[in-house]
Amino acid sequence: MSVQWPLLLFSVLLGTSSGMLAYLGVHEARGRRATASFLIAVLALVLLAAGGVASTFHLGHPERALHIMGNMGSGLSRELIGVGITAVVALAYAVCVRAKYDGAARALGICALVCGVVLPVIAGSSFMMASRPVWNSFTLPLLYLGSGLGLGFTLACVIACAKGADGDERAFAVKLAFAGVAAAVAVAIVWVIWVAVAPYADASRSVMRLAAGDMAVIFWLGAVVVGMAAPLALGFMALRAEAKRVVAYVGGAFACLLVGSVAVRVCMYALATSVQQLIY
């Protein structure tokens, strides 16, 4: 299957936005608002909107995007509803933070945490279909969730630390970023394991295409070295780094995760061949 770049871009932007909202929600849940919370919320909203726009270019007629609401049981309809709810929550949270409505902001922050976890799962679930064995597993929604947490936590941590988060908050933000990186790496490994054991084995969707076939370079270099090993190393260094170096290390981890997320999704599309007997 060819790479669907509008959907790939949509999933990466949606995941990053969701992870940033979850980051804000975690801070609100522990009773201490994140530094630069307004900026992080607004950026999350912008990324979510940009992803939504990108996804419409996957359609033959982008102007008909709202027609998918005609089938409320479809994965695309659930995605659209989830994106809409998440956007409203992010906007309301940003407004309350700006207006200093602390109680409302805390409640909306918890809602943002829920949206930040649920939305990537909904987006990943929309790809699950019996005719494409590599996609027909809950490891795919987990992949979307894990990569989103990694991207969102690291980017939000960079913003908060660059904006002057104090020592305690900075230490917690770095730990949260490292947890996000670990989650992204762990679910990517779980998904690769699923590829190896998925039913209806076929050379076109074999894990050997990743290990030693035509996808080996993008898998080992893009997904494993840049997307897994490098972010883990940089995240570990950030945990032990002086304050002035945290932004560089965590920012590097975000950049590597971004490359890795794209690489994994390219592999995801390449291996998404169909089982004919489940179609006809």
Q: What is the pLDDT of residues 181-204, one digit of tens each?
A: 999 999 999 999 999 999 988 888
Instruction: Give the residue, 95 or 70, on which the prediction is more confident.
Output: 95
Mean pLDDT of 12-17: 96
Q: What is the mean pLDDT of the chain?
A: 90
Report the 10 Å Cβ neighbour count for 66.
9
Instruction: Give the residue, 278 or 1, on which the prediction is more confident.
Output: 1
What pLDDT digit, counting tens, does each position of 202-255 carry?
888 999 999 999 999 999 999 999 999 999 999 999 999 888 899 999 999 999
pLDDT for 280: 43
> pTM to 2 decimals?
0.92
Report the 10 Å Cβ neighbour count for 203.
9
Q: How far apart are CA 158 and CA 177, in angstroms?
A: 9
What pLDDT digit, counting tens, does each position of 20-69 carry?
999 999 999 998 999 999 999 999 999 999 988 877 765 555 555 555 55
Q: How far apart are CA 276 and CA 280, in angstroms?
A: 6
Share of the chain above pLDDT 90, in %: 74
Q: Which amino acid is at 14?
A: L
Give the least confident one: 19-23, 72-76, 145-149, 218-222: 72-76
Q: How far apart are CA 50 and CA 38, in angstroms?
A: 18
